[in-house]
A and B are shown apart, each in its own frame.
Chain A
Amino acid sequence: MGKVNLIIDGKAIVADESKTVLEAALDNGIYIPHLCHHDDLHPNGGCRLCVVKQDGVDGVITSCSTKVKEGMVITTKDETAEKVRKLSVDLMFKTHPSECVGCPKYGKCQLASISQYVGDSGRDLRQQKLPLIENEENPLMLHEMYRCILCGRCVRACSELRGVGALKFEKVDGRMKVVINGKSLEDAGCQFCGACVEVCPTGSIRDKVGVFKDDPGLSREMTLVPCSEGCPAHINVPKYIRFIKEGNFPAAAATVREKAPFPESLGYICVHSCELQCKRNHLDGPLSIRNLKRFAASQDDGSWKANAFMKESTGKKVAVIGAGPAGLTAGYYLKKLGHEVTIFEKLPQAGGQMRYGIPSYRLPREVLDREIAEIESIGVEIKCNQDVKSAAELKAQGYDAVFVSVGTHAGNRLPLEGNDLPGVYLNADFLRSINLGKPFEVGENVVVLGGGNVAIDCAESALRLGAKHVVMTCLEAPDKMTASEEEVTWAKEDGIIVENSRTFDAIESENGKVTGLTVTGIEGLKFGPKGPEFTRIPDSTVTFPADTVIFAVGQHPDITEEFGLELNRGRIATNDGHKTSVEGIYAAGDAVTGTRSVIAAIAEAREAVSEIDKFLGGDGNIEEKLAPEQIANPCIGKNENLTKTHRNEPTVTEVDARKCNFEPMDLGFDCNKAGCEASRCLQCDLRVQISPQKFWSDFLAEEGGQQ
């Protein structure tokens, strides 16, 4: 590329010959107002704000669409040019509402910002108010075109960047407008990429309230890609979904592994907060992200290993207590950072709740074994059947740091009459007994107290152990249950009765044997500081017959003060950086937060690892690029059928074939379904590629230029 010399506002500038005068000026800290120009779009020249004076040329030139030339002499603050700019701003405000304060874009509007810079001349031009018509039809985007100043960025972004062309110019009653190129955005082939919103300088095209989080603490990337933001480990969801669409499944698996060492297990049992955030919830239902992950992970060929980091030995020793998802994750990364790791596990095998809580019909043990073996293969030592009584004492045995992730393996027992009768079990004990191969006996009639996923696990397990009649009952109304909707549906299909909005009165018994559970209907449930608050509905007390009652109303860590760490309501107390009350001892996972999820445990363990590494003298960096680079093609083209391709559901074993055994029942996706589902992704991350809008204050502050 050749270079040319030119002078802008008396400053000698050397610029690449491919640059425009506007670019050359901005690159050199000289601000020229511009509005229709956008870094990613082809120059337009319509707003007339970037006009400047060129020596030897009559009138003014358009700096956004004039290339630099050798010897050019440019004056940006020319009197005529400034008058033209003012006139342009004046004219734009003759149709644009002059009241800024009520506008949702107030404070973020480029027009308002420019008008402050350019100023207006107070001419007695005519106000030509545009009819106040707003289009709220679309669930994701809002059009309030009476604010439109026709800079055309949205139209250009939609066609130039995306190849969609869902927006176009049209004269309506003689006046030029930006309109939808069809009956609706869907009809126009819009893919809801949000490029139009991203480039709109005014409040004309906006995201509907609630589509994205309005949290100034979130980065632009996290705000605009809700699935990644919703994932506690911030897995790059759009990236791996795109790999799946391209058929590059190992790359997709590697992408997941960049943030979590259990891609396939997560594919089976993750609580998928990503799906709750998916933008497609506002259209026709979220992507089946978890099943996509599962399919991709099942196709992992290990090619990511070539890219994984492995630091040299630091000579430091770290003990990890508890081989659940948090402990295994911590062990894995600590080992990669060069520390020697020993994981102490109380139970006979590693896996924590993934093995002793989650039933095997949800997570096949060979999948878990494979992923744990992967962790062991890099040299993480796991010692099972080791009950560590005190973390503090363990540290004193010569460990440089200790990470505690003992989970919540003790179930909560509600203070009900008859709560300790034989035949009354706690969720954690009950599920553990099954997974240890010595299941507790269940009777014909089983009642499970609780409305979460663990309660469902208990109910389904009881059914599989031979119970004839299983009832689940909880305080929450159907739509407020914490169990995932899908699990509740399957439970009901299996014949489990779900009795919502009940408070538990007593466990009934005869001769020391459980006979039933008495409950009363409630309404107005709220969770206050002292626990649930509700009103009992008179005359709604009933007794569900039962010979087995299972409490599934929460779990807590199975430790006491003897463990040597400060506790907070039974959980390990930590401060910022996952530090416990003892220096060098860190903790994370359920033992700290209470029962959460595998992915949350992984995410927290990763954070704790960084802290431990820093404590041990490292840089705490565990980020790695396992997947190949991905070029996300922003030109997505039209798709008139976008909202017509609905969420794919996994293949699930028939009721009769599944409810009598612990074999996997959700068979996930095949290649076909995975590809089809992946193509439903709205690719929210494409919007992040678009250069953010800049204001004149940004240019001046950043370049330290004039003014």
Chain B
Amino acid sequence: MKNLLVVSCVSDDVKAPLSMYILKNFTADVVTGVDKYSKEFDAETIYLLPEGEDVSGLNGEIVHTSQISPTLNNPYSVAQVLSGNLPRPMIQDDYVAVYDGKAVSVITPEAAYGMTKGFEEKFVAINKGENTEIKKVNVGQPVGELAAVDGAKAVLFGGLKGKFVSGSEAAKLKIDETEKFSSITIYDESECIVDACVQLMNKAYEMSCGKCVLCREGTSQFKQIVTEMTTGKAKMSDLDLIKEVSELISIGAYCPFGQSMTKPLTSAMELFADEFEEHIKKKSCKCGKCYKQAELYYIDPDECIGCGECIDACPEDAIEGKDGFIHIIDQDLCEQCGKCVSACDEGCIKTATKLPKLPKKKTKCGKW
């Protein structure tokens, strides 16, 4: 069988957008590394780039994909994407992923660059707030030299698969070759760690390829439970639940992403136990991010025509009502997704921080 080497520029962690950076800024070095590697086993080369990106001077066919996934360093996952399917990894002894009759191997621009220039230097994405700065650093360099982490509230090393450490500890760490040191995300005192976890779990849920139950449903559960910690629905026992479940997931999940995606959350819970407790028990957030007055959805009883469109659209089954009767949103079930608003042709679903007077019992449309 012929060989195919895919240079995957779509497996980046959301916190470490390095692939395209390196490919664009160090094209020649990457190409040299790719060449070296592809010659070793006589492979054709494909560059797999995100939609809309282009780089000149590459030594192979360019293929674009809208898929971005942490699994896209797995040959099977890449072969799936090349065939127009969703990314899904295959981790199996002696498994050969095949695309177009060729055996697929995968390399990232980071690794290709390393093959040319050696692995003494590497790239690190340093995230603070909305800003991302990519730096070329030397292995062995203390983190404190690269960024002002000492006074930070917390630092996340390694993005979605990473771990939170305190600012002072972060400063002492030294860059090594591992993926963990590909991204450093700095959180300052104004930022809420629970909210940060919500953002991270939302992203993890989005990034989960869905193949393995533990990652697919695990990210979904964590996303919901952590979100509930910011809206007052969570219980203290949820903290133990997360700890216990994530330990099992880190052992039992299928791929490295699934095994590690729980780490940001569990490390944050360890480091900021008080802050989590405060959110759950006192239902308050020092940073003021969470527990904002939520926008509540309600159906204007003067305008509702009782058509049932919103009932069908609601994924939570939170809307009650019969044909010709005013529909009512059950606030306990409503997740504020807003789908009912677009489903309603009458434009009678509205939002408010405080609900107006609404019918308590079955009321015919127009009789309010």
Binding site for B on A (CB under 8 A): 43-48, 51, 59-60, 62, 65-67, 80, 83-84, 87-88, 91-92, 94-95, 123-126, 128-129, 131, 149-150, 152, 168-171, 173-176
Contact = CB atoms under 8 A, between A and B. Distances in A.
Given A150-B216, A171-B86, A87 B249 contact: yes
A171 B220 CA distance: 13
A60 B86 CA distance: 26
Contacts of A124: 235, 237-238, 241
B241 A94 contact: no
Kindly name the residue among A88, A129, A174 whose own CB sees the greatest number of chain B CB atoms within 10 A: A88
A83 B245 CA distance: 10
A487 to B, nearest CB: 49
A174 B205 contact: yes
A67 B94 CA distance: 9
A150 B210 contact: yes
B206 A43 contact: no
B213 A125 contact: no
5 contacts: A48-B254, A95-B217, A124-B235, A169-B210, A171-B86
Contact of A60 (B90, B220, B251): B251
B248 A87 contact: yes
Interface of B: 85-86, 88, 90-95, 205-206, 208-214, 216-218, 220-221, 224-225, 235, 237-238, 241, 244-245, 248-249, 251-254, 315-317
B88 A169 contact: yes
B241 A123 contact: yes
Contacts of B217: 91-92, 94-95, 128
Contacts of B208: 176
Contacts of A126: 221, 224-225
Contact of B93 (A66, A88, A175): A66
Given A66-B93, A92-B217, A128-B220, A87 B245 contact: yes
Contacts of B95: 65
A91 B221 contact: yes
A176 B254 contact: no
A84 B251 contact: yes
Given A87-B252, A174-B206, A176-B208, 6 more contacts: A47-B213, A80-B252, A84-B251, A94-B221, A124-B238, A170-B86
Given A91-B221, A123-B241, A152 B211 contact: yes
Contact of B251 (A44, A80, A94, A174): A80
A91 B224 contact: no
B297 to A, nearest CB: 17
Contacts of A125: 221, 241, 245
A92 B315 CA distance: 19
A88 B86 contact: no
Given A48-B214, A174-B205, A60 B92 contact: no
B241 to A, nearest CB: 6
A464 B225 CA distance: 84
Given A48-B214, A176-B216, A65 B252 contact: no
A301 B19 CA distance: 68
Nearest to A124: B241
A131 B214 CA distance: 21
A280 B220 CA distance: 42
A59 B252 CA distance: 7
Contact of B253 (A48, A67, A128, A150): A48
> Top 10 closest A-B pairs, CB basis?
A176-B210, A84-B252, A91-B217, A65-B92, A59-B251, A46-B211, A67-B93, A88-B213, A169-B86, A46-B212
Contacts of B91: 45, 62, 65
A147 to B, nearest CB: 15
B329 to A, nearest CB: 16
B337 to A, nearest CB: 9
Contacts of A131: 315
B140 to A, nearest CB: 27
A91 B218 contact: yes
A123 B222 CA distance: 13
Given A125-B241, A176-B210, A45 B251 contact: no
B5 to A, nearest CB: 23
Contacts of A88: 213-214, 252
Contact of B214 (A66, A84, A170): A84
Given A91-B218, A169-B85, A46 B213 contact: yes
B213 A48 contact: yes
Nearest to B88: A169
Contact of B248 (A84, A92, A171): A84
B218 to A, nearest CB: 7
A91 B214 contact: yes
Contacts of A62: 91-92, 254
A104 to B, nearest CB: 22
A92 B210 CA distance: 12
B92 A43 contact: yes
Q: Which of B248, B249, B317 is most buried by chain A, counting CB atoms within 10 A of its CB?
A: B248
Given A51-B252, A83-B248, A65 B93 contact: yes
Nearest to A49: B213
B263 to A, nearest CB: 15
A160 to B, nearest CB: 12
B88 to A, nearest CB: 7
B241 A168 contact: no
Contacts of B220: 128, 175
Contacts of A168: 85-86
Contacts of A51: 252
Contacts of B209: 176
A46 B254 contact: yes
A59 B247 CA distance: 11
Contacts of A46: 211-213, 254
A471 to B, nearest CB: 53
A617 to B, nearest CB: 58
A73 B317 CA distance: 50
Task: Pick the most buried of A43, A45, A149: most chain B CB atoms within 10 A of its CB.
Answer: A45
Given A87-B248, A87-B249, A176-B216, A66 B92 contact: yes
A170 B93 CA distance: 27
Nearest to B235: A124
Given A67-B93, A84-B252, A48 B212 contact: yes
Nearest to B218: A91
B170 to A, nearest CB: 27
B289 to A, nearest CB: 22
A83 B249 CA distance: 10
A129 B252 contact: no
B93 to A, nearest CB: 5
Nearest to B225: A126
From B221, B241, B253, name the one whose CB has the most chain A CB atoms within 10 angstroms: B221
Contacts of A176: 208-210, 216
Which residue, of B85, B235, B241, B252, has the highest number of chain A Cβ atoms within 10 A? Answer: B252
